[in-house]
């Protein structure tokens, strides 16, 4: 069973072979390292860029302008901020040219806290990304979804942003990627580079198959009747855990993995909230002008008379950074108990 | 020393010396080529002055362009291997690009449609400023208002083009990028110098700067420590030179020589062209003629007249014909439709796939 880093690698390999993916690049993305999370090890088209985020995004835009597909990596989302105007231009190029130039490029970057990454290895980017009109934005919570969403990104003619929850890169899922060997040791022997000299090493790729998750298609990961909890990425797994925990007390929590931040699956949220009348949005980006606020606003506007309680958002505190000490990080980004308390409060609210 | 060279290149006096040679052989360039170059230059000038008139008449919101850069831009446009896709040259221009595009074949009408934000504007559909061209059929990358972002993008297209290089070097595609001198302070300019010149991974890109010695109202002297911007390229082992961009003959020869070098070697080259700015930065600064700047078109025309390659009558006819074309094009564009309010979501995604969250 692949972990998320391996799933990303398998998707990139599949795209090299089947989608004419020509370039996978970024800082330390090529061999010998294959990315700081090893998500690009052993690929045919990977190469090391200069240590220059703007150079990486600018190059990606140029490559995409020729019609060639590329995947560019910003090593951590914390370092993507100096490219924000380039991301805006990439998102508006098709619109500004009235359909003349499309940019079939994917940018992937690790996001979020959870690895004690301190101030500059813990940033989230989903709220920022949701304001980049012209981009499709996804964030997986499982290796299989990472595989399916990344292939959809590479296959799409628009700029796509693939947000990798860095704390999940070594987490294995419960579902096999089509064509993946069931034995994780066998997979490791095939596609993980050995420690030490890697000059002669080549990956032996399993015959993985196409698996696409359409943009804007969420997934219900827990069925429930009492409250809807909408999340994505690392916090989706925390929401699942809390739903399971509260089930023993008789709570019936429906959890939606949004997977795709833009476009997003409004119909899934809508039908769930119409059923439960209560909703909580959970993510770890900072709380002021958070993407969850947009969803809560929309619920309030369109489903007001279906609601039994105020919609709530549990998000990161609006502080300048995530402090290194566990006390600081845990107080800055939502923890399981924060989600649990919010669910209990919302369910206890009487209209 | 460097200052003295620069002065010689841009000053009226030194250029007039060039034009009074009794036997001007125009660098050995063919007469027809010289006359074509002259016509493109006149057409560009008439077009830009037409755009300013349209702005002054209140028929457009803003003008920005490049009168005074005809001697630089026209040869570039004539030398580009025009076509669509990575087997042809890519051109990454900034907003002073009309000379290059006129030489490539852009019509006055399309430029005026862009100026008057008509829905028929083929570059932006009425969405962007004058001279913010985008022509996918000729690999003309979209002109953006943020300066210098075009430089790393040119490295990107060059990277993809290198896959199509063959031993038959004359057809090897390259990328050409242009920008102003003030913009070279942006980090993206430095990024491009690095990206283009990595050892063993050099890129087939012609990096150019049109130095008019101004950044809106900020003078060159107050902003640069280097003698020439071209010196920065030399630090990266990029073939680099400074030319008189007010001389179309010198420009043509230099651009051709550098394009040939890039097609042959797959490596970058750099040209800093010293140019004039005849009407200021944009309509924001009045778009008034600056009498202190050398006019490269008038200078070139005087050379042609002196050499007997054209007559006064020929010249008057050329100017009058383009003037009439500009008037006709304005009338056509004026009568064309404006963008509709319901078109704002169009082309947010390819195929105008729904991008409005209200409809998710």
In this structure, what CATH number is given to the domain that contains residue B131? 3.40.50.970
Which tokens go with A191? 């596609």
Minimum distance, in Å, between the CA of residue A326 and any CA atom of chain B: 36
Cα–Cα nearest to A229, from A202, A265, A256: A256
Alpha-carbon distance of B107 to B54, in angstroms, equals: 16
Sheet holding A227-231, edge to edge: A219-222, A253-257, A227-231, A279-286, A312-316
| Buried residues in A61-81 as b, exposed as e (16+ CB within 10 A) | bbbbbbbbbbbbbbbbbbbbe
Which tokens go with B119? 């829905």
Total domains present in chain B: 1
Q: How far is CA A205 from CA A3, A44, A150, in A?
A: 15, 11, 17
Query: Which chain B residues are Cβ-neighbours of A59 within 8 angstroms?
Result: 152-153, 155-156, 159, 195
Query: Which chain A residues are Cβ-neighbours of B350 within 8 angstroms?
Result: 94, 99, 102, 157-158
SS (H, E, C) chain A: CCEHHHHHHHHHHHHHHHCCEEEEEECCCCCCCCCCCCCCCCCCCEEECCCCHHHHHHHHHHHHHCCCEEEEECCCHHHCHHHHHHHHHHHHHHHHCCCCCCCCEEEEEEECCCCCCCCCCCCCCHHHHCCCCCCEEECCCCHHHHHHHHHHHHHCCCCEEEEEEHHHCCCECCCCCCCCCCCHHHHHHHHCCCCCCCCCCCCCCCCCCCCCCCCCCCEEEECCCCEEEEECCHHHHHHHHHHHHHHCCCCCEEEEECCEEECCCHHHHHHHHHHHCCEEEEEEEECCCCHHHHHHHHHHHHCHHHCCCCCEEEEECCCCCCCCCHHHHHHHCCCHHHHHHHHHHHHHCCC
Contact by Cβ (8 Å): B153, A61: yes
Alpha-carbon distance of A238 to A105, in angstroms, equals: 31
Judge: A98–B149 Cβ closer than 8 Å, yes or no: no
Query: Which chain B residues are Cβ-neighbours of A153 within 8 angstroms?
Result: none
Minimum distance, in Å, between the CA of residue B349 and any CA atom of chain A: 6
3-class DSSP state of B326: helix
Burial (CB count <10 Å: 0-12, 13-18, 19+), residue B324: exposed
Minimum distance, in Å, between the CA of residue B328 and any CA atom of chain A: 25
Judge: B142–A133 Cβ closer than 8 Å, yes or no: no
Nearest CA in chain B to A51: B191
For residue A109, what are the β-bridge partners? A163
Q: Is residue B314 part of a domain?
A: yes
Cα–Cα nearest to A38, from A13, A85, A5: A5
Residue with tokens 């020929």: B314
Q: Is residue B360 part of a domain?
A: no
Alpha-carbon distance of B230 to B243, in angstroms, equals: 10
Alpha-carbon distance of B274 to B277, in angstroms, equals: 10
As averages over each run of 10 residues, the pLDDT of chain A (351 residues) reads 97 98 97 94 97 98 98 98 98 98 98 96 97 98 98 98 98 96 96 91 97 98 98 98 98 98 98 98 98 98 98 98 97 98 97 85
Which tokens go with A238? 């925390």
Query: Which chain A residues are Cβ-neighbours of B348 within 8 angstroms?
Result: 94-95, 133-134
Cα–Cα nearest to A227, from A108, A307, A284, A154: A307
pLDDT reported for residue B24: 87
Nearest CA in chain B to A159: B349
Judge: B142–A66 Cβ closer than 8 Å, yes or no: no
The residues of chain B scoring below 70 in pLDDT are 1-22
Domains annotated for chain A, with CATH where assigned, are 4-191 (3.40.50.970), 219-348 (3.40.50.920)
Q: Is residue B8 part of a domain?
A: no
Residue span of the structural domain in which B218 resides:
28-336
Q: Is residue B113 part of a domain?
A: yes
Q: Is residue B329 part of a domain?
A: yes
Cα–Cα nearest to B92, from B158, B160, B178, B155: B178
For chain B, the C-alpha Rg in angstroms (whole number) is 20
Alpha-carbon distance of B30 to B22, in angstroms, equals: 18
pLDDT reported for residue B289: 81
Alpha-carbon distance of A218 to A141, in angstroms, equals: 11
pLDDT reported for residue A340: 98
Q: Is residue B163 part of a domain?
A: yes
Interface test with B, best of A60, A64, A90, A100 (most B CBs within 10 A): A100
Judge: A134–B346 Cβ closer than 8 Å, yes or no: no
Judge: B156–A99 Cβ closer than 8 Å, yes or no: no
pLDDT reported for residue A111: 98
- Rounded to 5 degrees, φ, ψ at A310 are -65, 135
Interface test with B, best of A59, A259, A301 (most B CBs within 10 A): A59
Judge: B156–A65 Cβ closer than 8 Å, yes or no: yes
3-class DSSP state of B2: helix
Q: Is residue B19 part of a domain?
A: no
Alpha-carbon distance of B158 to B164, in angstroms, equals: 10
């Amino acid at each position: 069973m692949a972990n998320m880093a391996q799933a990303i690698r398998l998707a990139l390999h599949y795209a090299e072979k089947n989608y004419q993916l020509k370039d996978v690049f970024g800082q330390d993305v090529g061999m010998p390292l294959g990315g700081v999370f090893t998500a690009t090890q052993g690929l045919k088209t990977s190469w090391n860029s200069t240590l220059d985020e703007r150079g990486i995004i600018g190059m990606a835009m140029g490559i995409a302008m020729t019609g060639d597909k590329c995947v560019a990596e910003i090593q951590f989302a914390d370092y993507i901020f100096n490219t924000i105007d380039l991301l805006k231009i990439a998102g508006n190029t098709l619109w500004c040219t009235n359909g003349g130039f499309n940019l079939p490029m994917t940018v992937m970057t690790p996001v979020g806290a959870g690895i004690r990454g301190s101030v500059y290895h813990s940033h989230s980017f989903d709220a920022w990304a949701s304001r980049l009109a012209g981009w499709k934005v996804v964030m997986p919570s499982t290796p299989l979804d990472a595989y399916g969403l990344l292939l959809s990104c590479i296959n799409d003619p628009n700029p796509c942003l693939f947000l990798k929850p860095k704390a999940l890169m070594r987490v294995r899922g419960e579902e096999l990627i089509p064509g993946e060997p069931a034995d994780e040791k066998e997979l490791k022997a095939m596609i993980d580079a050995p420690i030490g000299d890697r000059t002669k090493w080549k990956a032996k790729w399993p015959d993985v198959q196409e698996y696409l998750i359409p943009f804007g298609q969420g997934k219900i990961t827990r069925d429930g009747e009492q409250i809807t909890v909408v999340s994505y990425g690392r916090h989706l797994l925390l929401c699942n855990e809390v739903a399971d925990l509260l089930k023993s007390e008789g709570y019936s929590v429906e959890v939606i993995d949004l997977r795709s931040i833009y476009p997003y699956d409004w119909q899934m949220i809508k039908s769930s909230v119409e059923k439960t009348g209560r909703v909580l949005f959970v993510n770890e980006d900072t709380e002021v002008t958070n993407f969850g606020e947009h969803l809560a606003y929309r619920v309030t506007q369109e489903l007001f008379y279906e609601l039994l309680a105020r919609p709530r958002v549990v998000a990161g505190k609006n502080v300048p950074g995530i402090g290194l000490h566990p006390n600081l990080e845990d107080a800055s980004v939502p923890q399981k108990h924060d989600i649990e308390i919010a669910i209990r409060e919302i369910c206890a609210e009487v209209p | 020393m460097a200052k003295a060279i620069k002065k010689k290149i841009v000053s009226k006096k030194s250029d007039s010396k060039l034009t009074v040679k009794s036997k001007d052989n125009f660098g050995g360039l063919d007469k027809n080529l010289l006359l074509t170059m002259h016509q493109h230059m006149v057409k560009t000038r008439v077009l830009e002055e037409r755009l300013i008139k349209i702005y002054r008449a209140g028929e457009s919101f803003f003008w920005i362009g490049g009168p005074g850069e005809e001697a630089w831009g026209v040869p570039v446009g004539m030398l580009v291997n025009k076509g669509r896709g990575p087997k042809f040259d890519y051109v990454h221009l900034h907003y002073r690009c009309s000379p290059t595009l006129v030489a490539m074949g852009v019509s006055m009408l399309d430029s005026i449609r862009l100026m008057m934000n008509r829905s028929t504007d083929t570059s932006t559909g009425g969405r962007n400023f004058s001279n913010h061209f985008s022509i996918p059929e000729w690999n003309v990358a979209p002109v953006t208002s943020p300066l210098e972002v075009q430089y790393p993008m040119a490295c990107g297209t060059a990277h993809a083009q290198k896959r199509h290089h063959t031993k038959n070097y004359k057809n090897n595609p390259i990328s050409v990028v242009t920008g102003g001198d003030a913009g070279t302070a942006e980090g993206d300019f430095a990024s491009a110098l690095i990206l283009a010149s990595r050892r063993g991974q050099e890129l087939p890109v012609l990096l150019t700067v049109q130095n008019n010695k101004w950044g809106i109202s900020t003078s060159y002297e107050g902003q640069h420590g280097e003698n020439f911007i071209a010196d920065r390229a030399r630090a990266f082992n990029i073939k680099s030179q400074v030319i008189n961009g007010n001389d179309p003959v010198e420009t043509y020869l230099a651009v051709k020589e550098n394009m040939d070098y890039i097609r042959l070697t797959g490596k970058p080259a750099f040209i800093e062209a010293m140019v004039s700015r005849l009407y200021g930065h944009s309509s924001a600064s009045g778009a008034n003629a600056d009498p202190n700047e050398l006019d490269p078109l008038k200078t070139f025309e005087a050379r042609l007249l002196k050499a007997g390659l054209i007559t006064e009558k020929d010249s008057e006819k050329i100017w009058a014909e383009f003037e009439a074309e500009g008037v006709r094009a304005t009338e056509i564009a004026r009568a064309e439709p404006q963008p509709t309010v319901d078109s704002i979501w169009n082309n947010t995604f390819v195929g105008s796939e729904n991008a409005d969250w209200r409809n998710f």
